[in-house]
Structure formats: C-alpha cells, structure tokens
Chain A
Amino acid sequence: MLDLRISVESLPKLAKGATLTLELAALVLVTAAILSIPVAFALNARRSWVSRAAEAYVMLFRGTPAMIQIFLVYYGTSQFAWFRESVFWPIFREPYWCAVVALGLNGAAYTGNILAGAIRAVPQGTIEAGRALGLDWFKLQRFIVIPQAVRIGFPAYTNEVIQTVKATSLASTITLIELTGSAQMLVNDTYAPYEVFLAAAAMYLAITFVLAVLFRHIENHLYRAGRDPAAQNLKTAVEA
C-alpha cells in the first residue's frame, strides 16, 4: 500500500528542510542557553521582586502554547505603527528571526528553570569551602557553582534539547519551509501523506536519536571529570 518510491524521492527536498530545522534549533538553543543564566539567577534571587518577576516570566512561557507565542511575536508586533518604524522591525518582519526570538524566549523559561533547580542542588559545603578560600561572588559562581550545576541539570537539559528540535516544527505555521513545512508542501504536490510524513517523521527520529546519543556521550564525559580519584579509590577499597 505504501509507495516507498515517493518516500525516497521526497528525501532530498526534506533534507533541505531538515537543514533549516537544525539551523533554527541551534540558534534557539544558543539564545535560550544565554538567556537562561540570568533567568536562573533571578529565580534564585534573594530579593523577592526579582524572583517573583522571573517566576512570572517562566509561568507565562510555560503556561501558554508555544504557537501563540510565535504568533504574538510574528503577527502581533505588526499591529503597532510605531513598532513598524522602529529599529527592531527588520528583525521582527522576518518569520525566521521571529521563530528564533519566540522559541528562544520559550526555551529560556524551561532551561532557566532547570538551571535554577540545579544551582539550588549544588552541595552547600562546596560553596562554603569556596568562600573560605576567599573567592569573590563571581569566581564562586564561575568555578564552584556553575560547573556543578551544569552536571546536575544535564540529563534534564538533554530532554529540553530534543523538545527544542520538535518545537521548531511550529515555525512552519509562520511560513518557514523547515522539515515539517517542506513535508506539507510535498504532500500538496504528491497527495501521498503517508509516504511523505512518514519520511519526515523518520528524519526527525534520526535527528533526535543522534542528539540523544551525542548528549549521553557528553554526559559521561562530564561525570568522568567530576569523579574524584581519591574518592574512587576509597570506594573500591570499601567494596573490596
């Protein structure tokens, strides 16, 4: 029943869409990663208005569909004449950058939340030890807190990376021809939805699979660096 020839023939066109998917995902991940750091510190801030504002930001982006966020950034911003004349317009005019901005802000809420939780989970003793060594706030974060928090939050972050790849499919709703968009166009031409969408699904699976494997390797690497040889010796001694 399935005409696999159509699937195979659609692959080159889908591959072109897939490169845009990867490009969007990479840009969104970088944007989200950068923004997640201030979000995480704000969430953990001692000043309550700062943490409240950060919580509101996270709630806003996690409590509404990503699709409405993309539509607000792409279509919503065109409502105001003053915005259309502003310096931001060349960015917000382009569906490409709107997708990056909307999904980047969305990702920063999720990633920021993961990072904030990871920072709270850093053992208090290591921070006290850092203080005892006379490290200032910045150095304490840079050398003690962040390296440990990254390790703690990494498994959850891997999940977030895969969610981001999947979320870029929403860019097809604002005219971008990424993997889902190119599949939809091919279905319009061939009227073979199974063949084309299954091929597209297979490509997404391949991308997410490779990413999952890649991140597991990075994770193993991170944990290896965290293992203390002395503690390791002690552990083997106890177990023996």
Chain B
Amino acid sequence: MFDALITYRVQLLTGAGLTILVAVASLMLATGIGLLGAMAKLYGPRVTKIALGAYTTVMRGIPDLVVILLIYFGGTVTLSKLRGSYFEVEPFTAGVVALGIISGAYMTEVFRGAIQAVPKGQIEAARALGLRPFPLFTLVILPQAWRIALPGFGNQWLILLKHTSLISVVGLEELMRKSVIVAGATQQPFTIYSATAVSYLVMTILSMQALKRFERRLERSYQR
C-alpha cells in the first residue's frame, strides 16, 4: 500500500516545497499590506479609514476560493486585453496576490490592535527625548507592537499554510495539486490523500512549536 508513496515521493516533496514557498510569499505580502493598512487606519485621513474598514468587511465575507478565481481569471482577461493577445496569469502570482490580499485584511486588524496596545507613556517618553515620527515608529512602537502582534500573526501563518491548497484549483502544482495527480496515477486516493494530510499536519505542528518558542523568546525581555 505504501509503495506508491515511495515511488512518487519526489513529486510530493516538491509539491510540499512549493506549498511552503507560496505560503511564505503570501505572508510577506500580507505583512506589508497589514503594516501599511494599520498605519493608514491609525494615522490616516477619514477616507482611508472608511475604505480600509470596507476592505476588511469584504474580505471577511467572501470565500478565499472566490477571490483566487476572480484574480486568476480576471487577471488573465485584463492582461490579455492590455497586451492584445492571450496571456495567462501565473497561478503562483494569482495565488500569492489573492492570499496576500485576504490575509492582509486580517493582518491590518492584528497590527492595528498591537500598535494601539503599546503603552502611551512609551510614546510620550520618546517624544520627550526628541525622536522624530519615523524613528519613533520604527524604534519604539514597532518592536513593542511586534511582540503583541505575534500570536495573531502566527495564526495568520497557520491559516495561510492551509489555504495555499486552494490555489490547486487554478492549477498550481503545490502539495494538494500534486497529490491529486499522484492519486489519479496510482489509483490509491486514500493512501495518497492521507499522506498529504499528514504532511500538512507536520507543517502545522512544526510551525506551532516554532511560534511558541519565538513567543517565549520575545517574552523574556519582559520578565525579571
């Protein structure tokens, strides 16, 4: 029963590698959006605050799969029109953009809450020392906000890791898509899909342990 796994191990492992790559790329995009979004929501004009509120509400209300399909097929249509000839968006790009935008909405809330949780006295002290707004943000607010944001940030990573499987629908050969191909070739869907599920589980558990360690390390400077 397990010989199928041994035969196709390279296929499945490259799929798992791509899964991690897509998840990391999406996480970076989401973090960027989240940081900018949080700053705009806290310090920006009213219009951007309202627009960002709408962005979060919309992203919370529609399935990730619909966003992926919209960006993949929509992007293909738009780029084909712009170029005048048929042009297909890379599933990788479409997937990263879609997951990044969705997760970015949640990250905006994570970072906004974290920045707001930084004690006021810290900011007043930094101002009293004559820090300008930029160093105040990067040297005083961010390092402290980061510690508060870490649990929410870690949660987004775990969600992203699992949701990369949705990109298989538009043909990206990450772990999920690879396992569909291998399941078809071997006619052993239960064996293959179980192995795939275990692979995701291992990635999740390792991530959780890494996050816990990381949280403890950041916590250390606050203990006496």
Chain A residues lying within 8 Å of B165, measured Cβ to Cβ, are: 65, 67-68
Contact B190 A77, beta carbon cutoff 8 Å: yes
Chain B residues lying within 8 Å of A213, measured Cβ to Cβ, are: none
Contact A204 B169, beta carbon cutoff 8 Å: no
Contact of A64 among B62, B66, B180, B204 (CB under 8 A): B204
Q: Which residues in window 145-171 of B have CB below 8 A to A? A: 162-163, 165-166, 168-169
Main secondary structure of the interface of B (DSSP, over half): helix
Contact of B176 among A68, A169, A194 (CB under 8 A): A68
Contact A75 B204, beta carbon cutoff 8 Å: no
With known contacts A63-B201, A67-B166, A79–B189 Cβ distance under 8 A: yes
Among residues of B, the one whose C-beta sits closest to the C-beta of A197 is B70
Number of interface residues of B (CB under 8 A): 39
- A64 to B58 Cα, complex, angstroms: 25
A191 at the interface (CB under 8 A from B): yes
- A63 to B193 Cα, complex, angstroms: 14
Q: Which residues in window 56-105 of A have CB below 8 A to B? A: 59-60, 63-69, 71-72, 75-80
Number of interface residues of A (CB under 8 A): 40
A176 CB, nearest partner CB in chain B, Å: 13
A170 CB, nearest partner CB in chain B, Å: 7
Mark interface residues in B173-207 (1 if CB within 8 Å of A CB, else 0).
00010011001000111110110110011001100
- A42 to B109 Cα, complex, angstroms: 33
User: Can you pick out 20 interface pairs between chain A and chain B where the beta carbons lie within 8 Å of each other?
Assistant: A60-B197, A63-B200, A64-B201, A64-B204, A65-B162, A65-B165, A68-B179, A68-B196, A79-B188, A180-B69, A183-B66, A184-B69, A191-B77, A193-B69, A193-B73, A193-B76, A193-B77, A197-B70, A201-B67, A208-B62
